Amino acid sequence: MGEFFSKLLDTSDFPARWHCGNWSDGHGWLHIASDVAVFLAYMAIPIVLAFFIIRRRDLPFPRIFWMFVAFIAFCGLSHLVEAYIFWNPIYRVSAVLKLFTAVASWATVAGLLRVMPRAVYWRSPEQLEREVEARTRELEDNRAELHRVNLDLTHANEDLQQFARFISHDLQSPLRAIGAFVDILRERLDDSMEQEDVEYAEHITGGVERMKALLQDLLLYTRTERTGRMEWIDLGSVTRSLVEGIQVASAGTSPTVEYGDLPRVFAHEVGIRQVLQNLVENAVKFSGSSPARIHISGRTTEEAWEIAVRDEGIGLDTRYAKRIFEPFQRLHLREEYEGTGIGLSIVRKIVQIHGGEIHVESSPGQGATFTFTIARPTDNDTSGGSA
């Protein structure tokens, strides 16, 4: 082996190809010219390829292309040496060159086999273009649909606003008339009214009052919607100011409200304050004979903040647990507990606006725990600066 490399350029062991055998001029030059022509072509191809690879940075599988460059260039050089050997028999150089050509060729084969599965599914520019077109069409359809839904929503919202105006004015005025005229009648007929008549008149007045309260609360419910901006608020301080307000308002039989560490949440402050206030007022209202004891706690899960408002009041039958969040659903007779039954439905509406849910766990006489969630925003939702 050492001898082979030390005599790499030594040609003394072989005759030049012209002197090996009986070449006619035509035959010999045909070999030489063809080998040189092949060499030139096999050098031109890698040069063009290399230029192409360098210019097209987005070319898929560039390493395979470089392998082609190497293997074609080696093939070209082999042909050149074949021609040169007619005068100078460098058979050892020729053998080494053929070895390099073989290695480069097989490396290319291996590389090809490796990328083949991916290459088979490689999408052509036409294919990509077709896909982009299809996607674009889809997007345009979606945009049209979005536009339509948006229009519908705008109309629905206008309807709702109109409905609210209708409640606050058109429905109130005949009601006021009924109430006022009944009062006038009662005054005018005061002496001549039988006991029964007085009772009937009271039914009318009571009905009018109830209707007023219902309309007012319906308005309240309708107007509970997505308004104001979402911001980071400290539930702890919201709760603190809420509790102080309650304790001022109910001096004497003041309820006890305890709360631990409450999280900072991303929400509508007015809405969340309303939720907590309604839940606390609800707990106070249904506290039973002893003053209300209320515990507010919060925890943070992966997707949401979870706030629980627990009381030790009269509780409720869980058969009706879902129903109490519907507007105007009550579980008690009017003379037992006042109110139209709107409070918890407003709570649920606000919670839903925050992407959350609410439920209650309870049993009669055992207090109740209302748990609601506020969906935690993704980074995109909160990073919108001051918007």
Partner 1 sequence: MKIIPSVLLVDDDVSDLVLCELTLGRTKRFPRTFRARTGEQVLALFTRAAQSSDPPPEPFPPDLMFVDVHMPAMTGLELVDELLRLRTAAIVPVLPPIVMLSASLDPREEARAVAHPAVLEYMAKPMRVDAANRLADRLGREIGS
The CA distance from 327 to 341, in Å, is 6
Token pair 């036409």 is at which residue? 126
Q: What are phi and psi of 129, to 5 degrees?
A: -60, -45
Q: Which stretch binds partner 1 (CB under 8 A): 61-69, 199-207, 218-226, 228-236?
A: 199-207
Pairs from 94-100 (Cβ < 8 Å, separation ≥ 24)? 96/8, 100/74
Judged by CB under 8 A, the number of residues near partner 1 is 14
- For the bound state, the minimum distance from the C-beta of residue 317 to partner 1, rounded and expressed in Å, comes to 7
Give the contact letters, 315-354, x = binds to partner 1 (CB under 8 A), - = no.
--x--x--------xxxxxx------x-------------
- For the bound state, the minimum distance from the C-beta of residue 204 to partner 1, rounded and expressed in Å, comes to 9
Based on CB atoms, which residue is closest to partner 1, 164 or 331?
A: 331
- For the bound state, the minimum distance from the C-beta of residue 337 to partner 1, rounded and expressed in Å, comes to 9
Q: 279-302 burial by CB neighbour count: b if 16+ within 10 A, else e?
A: bbbbbbbbbeeeebbbbbbbeeee
Based on CB atoms, which residue is closest to partner 1, 207 or 355?
A: 207
The CA distance from 214 to 332, in Å, is 16
Based on CB atoms, which residue is closest to partner 1, 115 or 331?
A: 331
Based on CB atoms, which residue is closest to partner 1, 295 or 330?
A: 330
**Single-letter residue type at 124:** S
Identify the residue among 15, 62, 206, 365 touching partner 1 (CB under 8 A).
206
The CA distance from 354 to 375, in Å, is 6
Based on CB atoms, which residue is closest to partner 1, 362 or 373?
A: 362
First to last CA, the chain: 79
- Say if residues 259 and 239 touch (Cβ distance below 8 Å): yes
DSSP strand pairing (256-259 vs 264-267): unpaired
Based on CB atoms, which residue is closest to partner 1, 170 or 379?
A: 170
Is residue 203 at the binding interface for partner 1, with CB under 8 A as the rule?
Answer: yes
Based on CB atoms, which residue is closest to partner 1, 85 or 167?
A: 167
Is residue 114 at the binding interface for partner 1, with CB under 8 A as the rule?
Answer: no
The CA distance from 60 to 119, in Å, is 9
Is residue 200 at the binding interface for partner 1, with CB under 8 A as the rule?
Answer: yes
Based on CB atoms, which residue is closest to partner 1, 135 or 334?
A: 334
The CA distance from 339 to 332, in Å, is 10
Give the contact letters, 59-98, x = binds to partner 1 (CB under 8 A), - = no.
----------------------------------------
- For the bound state, the minimum distance from the C-beta of residue 343 to partner 1, rounded and expressed in Å, comes to 14
Could you tell me if residue 263 is left (phi over 0), alpha (psi between -120 and 50 degrees) or otherwise beta?
beta
Identify the residue among 145, 199, 234, 244 touching partner 1 (CB under 8 A).
199
**Chain positions contacting partner 1, by CB under 8 A:** 199-200, 203, 206-207, 317, 320, 329-334, 341
